[in-house]
Amino acid sequence: MEQRMQKVYSRSGAVALKVAQGHFATNHSHINYYIDITTLKTRLCDAEAVARELAQKYVTSTVIDTIVCLDGTQVIGACLARELTKSGLASINAHQSIYVIRPEYNSNSQLLFRDNLQPMLNGKHVLILMASVATGKTINKSVECVQYYGGIVQGVAAVYSTMKSIDGLDIQSIFSPADLPGYASYEFKDCPYCKQGIKLDALVNSFGYSKL
């Protein structure tokens, strides 16, 4: 896995995405690229670079009170909140406080927020932050959860996304399939690699990968 890792750079050159080609299984699909966002989520200088690029997509146009962090993106979320609240004539969130929170998951993988966090959602303009978007299923669950607690979903931000929108909701990302030649995602039953008898290289999720 490590030997096959390559770096793909954002248009600005400030953010480097690590990827590897192969046969991988997520919770929802089979994919031919493993997208490693580990350092972008955990190393401060990388998280700051991601936040600067994502902030450009919202700083002049979108009111944000709360950032809901999924996939372990809390470091990016904190950096993004700082970028959005910097002083400047163009920033409509300048000098405002932005909450940075993450949900819990129950035994059915449903998202929930405890009573002490619910005021940070009720009546607030919410940005959902994700590491990557593949099928949109996680977004649907997240939007439903935020709306249940009275939040107003303003959009979805991600490091990588295969989609530009879902159900009328904009998805802003730094990387897309255009940056990964031949990227493909398949339903389990339709995976051409499985049909050819090609074994999985690894199981992957937001925490990383497990070799098989």
Q: How do beta strands 152-161 and 104-105 pair?
A: unpaired
Quick one: which of 209, 51, 15 has its CA closest to 7? Answer: 15
Distance CA 7, CA 50 (A): 15
Please report the pLDDT score of residue 192 as a whole number. Answer: 94
Q: What total of structural domains would you count in the chain?
A: 1
CATH number at residue 167: 3.40.50.2020
Residues of the domain holding 76: 2-211
Three-state SS at 94: coil
- Confidence at residue 115, expressed as pLDDT on a 0 to 100 scale: 96
Q: How confident is the model at residue 3 (pLDDT cuts 50, 70, 90)?
A: very low
Grade residue 130 by pLDDT with cuts at 50, 70 and 90.
very high
CB 141 within 8 A of CB 111: yes
Kindly report the pTM of this predicted structure: 0.88
Q: Which two tokens stand for residue 187?
A: 């339903």
43-96 pLDDT tens trace: 999 999 999 999 999 988 899 999 999 999 999 999 999 999 986 656 677 768
Q: Report which DSSP code applies to 200.
A: P
Q: 162-211, pLDDT tens digit by residue?
A: 999 998 999 999 999 999 999 998 888 899 999 999 999 999 887 788 88
